[in-house]
Amino acid sequence: MITKILSFSIKTKITFTIFLIILFLSGGIIYTVKNSLTKNIKSSSVNIVKELVGVNETFIIKSLLEDDYWSIYNVLKSLSNLDIIKSIGVIDDKDKVVAHTNTKKYHIYQNFDLQDFKGIKIPLSSDNVRLGTCVVEINNDALGYLFKDMDKQIYIYIIILALISFVLAYFISERILKRLNILSYNAKCIQEGKLDKVIQYKSIEKDEISMFQESMEIILKQLNISIDNEQKLKTFYHEILKGLNELIVITDKKFSLKYQNDHPFKNIILKENRFKSGILVKIKEHISNNTNRFVLHLEVLGKGIIYLYVIIEKIGEMYSFSFTDITKLKNLEEKEQLANSFEIIGEISSSVVHEIKNHLQPVKLLVEQESLDMEDHRRIVDIIAKIDALVNDFLSVGKPIDKNLSEYIDINLAIKDYLFLFANEMKSKNILLCKEYGVNLKVLMGNYDYELIIANLIKNAIEASPKNGKMFIKTYKKDEYKVFQITNEGKPIDKDTIKNISKPFFTTKKRGSGLGLYITYKIVYLYGGFIEVTSRESKTSFNIYLP
């Protein structure tokens, strides 16, 4: 029931509440007035009856004395025609009924118990002699008769009050609802961002709704200012983003386009508010591999291959993508690499030639001898072996990396394989190996290239380690890089050496070609990684960062 009432409209609720209040108030007032009047009329009616009997007293007494009971009865009958009198009778001085209008109950000469009688008793006396008593029962319903006209008026008043209350309630609820509707409409406009459609309403009322309305207007003004500021800020950022060389793309987690700045590559990367399918595949691939930085090369008609450096950032439930055109940089790098290559080739060539010449000098002296003993022979073979190793390293330097054969390699597995291969060397030097492998560390590169890096670094570390020294191997992830760290104990490397360590033919070893670390650096660099070398006290660490 209460739920049903609560589900009514505000207009209905207000209308009925006011109606009921007015109805109960008016009903209460009418009841009180009627009650008060009833009491007064009761006492008045007793007086009226006494006066009526008083008027007829002389005639009744005369008839009583003349034994004319029929005349008495007729008088009583006439009086009982008044609604106020329920019944009326005359009792003689011996308390016997003379006449009574209630003929069913009271008969002539019947004894009448005056003491028990609850009605009005009016003595009939002449010359101070009591001749009888007039007994009257008041008709309580007669009061209703007296109120008959008043009842009609009451109903009319109630109907008028009800109508007034309805009109009043309707007017009040209409005023309230009109303002509430405006508030509701304004709130909807604000929600939908249609601030220009918000209605300004000045009400004559000064109630809670008006106060709320005024507050809303203030909030609206502040909101307008904020939105204006935000718009300006947005424009400001847009201008900044427009001025950027990068293409900035913002998508939701389903890669649906939310924002992109104006950039010439927009049409190359995007199509109908989404990434082009091929690009999206690559993006998803990198995201699943947790690589948020990568180079994307695309073949564009009329432009050839373009290189884009992509940075992916996850911001809450959104992705932001930054595409930087590094085609020119790549081209410059290639040119520089080529120049460097020529320089290196020149340097290497002169070094190799110089080395080979250095080796060949003693061979020449030995060969110019008339006879060669075994020692000479052994020395010549040794020198030729050195020249052969030199040439092999040189060939390795020249060998390009093969990205086309790239595959995802678990870096821990390759490390474990090479540690097994170098087990004898470590055993002969009694090196204590400490390992700490990270999990799920995979790099995309050629298997041979990776093995070459690992083999070079493990070999160098074993060679640099003193007898009974310790060697530490650790793999872990740092940012978007997978890191292979190898540390050995031993004499620390000075700063100058660290500076030149990546240069070809730079070696501190008696029998090294000086190309091992150079090849390592070259492979790591070509796969987009880098190498950090630290040497403190008695520990030297090589940290290989691979994307």
Partner 1 sequence: MCFKNVFTQNGQKLTILFQKLTTILFLSSIFLFASANKNRLVLGLTGVVLKEDIASIIKLKLYLEKETHLNIAFKFVKSYAEIKTLLLDKSINFAYICGSTYVDLESSNEIELLVLPTIDKKPYYYSLIITQKNSLYKSLYDLKGKVFAISDPESNSGSLVPQYKIYKKGYNFKNFFKKIIVTYDHGESIDAVLSGYVEGASVDSVVYRAFVYKNPKKAKRLKVINMFGPYPIPPFVIRKDTSTVIKKELINAFLNMSKNKDGKKILKSLAIDSFIKPGNISYQKIRDIKYYLNIKENRNDN
CB nearer partner 1, residue 62 or residue 354:
62
Task: Give the C-alpha separation, 45 to 47, whole Å.
Answer: 5
CB nearer partner 1, residue 31 or residue 59:
59
* Per-residue mark of binding to partner 1, 23-62 (x: CB under 8 A): ----------------------------------------
Task: Give the C-alpha separation, 67 to 60, whole Å.
Answer: 10
Residue 73 binding partner 1, by CB under 8 A: yes
* Closest of 121, 123, 111 to residue 61, by C-alpha: 123
Q: Which stretch binds partner 1 (CB under 8 A): 103-111, 185-193, 366-374, 386-394?
A: 103-111
Q: Which of 3, 6, 7, 109 binds partner 1 (CB under 8 A)?
A: 109
Q: Which of 10, 108, 164, 305 binds partner 1 (CB under 8 A)?
A: 108
Residue 513: which residues within 8 A CB-CB, separation 6 or more?
389, 390, 393, 394, 505, 507
Segment 306-313 long-range contacts (CB within 8 Å, at least 24 positions apart): 306/265, 306/268, 308/265, 308/269, 310/283, 310/286, 312/283, 312/286, 312/287
> Which residue type does 142 have?
A
How many C-beta atoms surround the C-beta of residue 62 within 10 A? 13
Task: Give the C-alpha separation, 474 to 434, whole Å.
Answer: 8
Residue 68 binding partner 1, by CB under 8 A: yes
CB nearer partner 1, residue 68 or residue 410:
68
Residue 70 binding partner 1, by CB under 8 A: yes
Task: Give the C-alpha separation, 309 to 1, whole Å.
Answer: 69
Q: Which of 77, 152, 284, 477 binds partner 1 (CB under 8 A)?
A: 77
Give the CA angle between residues 433, 437, 440 to the nearest 5°.
160
Residue 389: which residues within 8 A CB-CB, separation 6 or more?
513
CB nearer partner 1, residue 108 or residue 114:
108
Residue 107 binding partner 1, by CB under 8 A: yes
Q: How far is the CB of 77 from partner 1 (least distance, A)?
A: 7
Structure tokens at 93: 């001085």
* Closest of 138, 181, 119 to residue 45, by C-alpha: 138
CB 436 within 8 A of CB 485: no
Residue with tokens 């009526």: 52
Q: How far is the CB of 73 from partner 1 (least distance, A)?
A: 5
Residue 82 binding partner 1, by CB under 8 A: no
Residue 65 binding partner 1, by CB under 8 A: no
Q: How far is the CB of 66 from partner 1 (least distance, A)?
A: 10
Residue 103 binding partner 1, by CB under 8 A: yes
CB nearer partner 1, residue 104 or residue 511:
104
Q: Which stretch binds partner 1 (CB under 8 A): 105-113, 130-138, 151-159, 533-541?
A: 105-113
CB nearer partner 1, residue 69 or residue 530:
69
Residue 99 binding partner 1, by CB under 8 A: yes
Number of residues engaging partner 1 in binding (CB under 8 A): 12
Residue 112 binding partner 1, by CB under 8 A: no
Q: How far is the CB of 137 from partner 1 (least distance, A)?
A: 17
DSSP state of 82: S
Q: Which stretch binds partner 1 (CB under 8 A): 65-73, 340-348, 359-367, 437-445?
A: 65-73
Residue 94 binding partner 1, by CB under 8 A: no
CB nearer partner 1, residue 40 or residue 78:
78
Q: Which of 1, 4, 6, 104 binds partner 1 (CB under 8 A)?
A: 104
* Chain CA centroid to CA 527, Å: 42
Task: Give the C-alpha separation, 393 to 515, whole Å.
Answer: 6
CB 447 within 8 A of CB 402: no
DSSP state of 111: B
Residue 357 binding partner 1, by CB under 8 A: no
CB nearer partner 1, residue 70 or residue 236:
70
SS (H, E, C) 237-279: HHHHHHHCCCEEEEEECCCCEEEECCCCCHHHHEECCEECHHH
Q: Which of 69, 147, 157, 437 binds partner 1 (CB under 8 A)?
A: 69
Structure tokens at 388: 């052969």
Interacting positions 473-502 with partner 1 (CB under 8 A): none
Structure tokens at 55: 């008027």
Binding stretches for partner 1 (CB under 8 A)? 68-70, 73-74, 77, 99, 103-104, 107-109
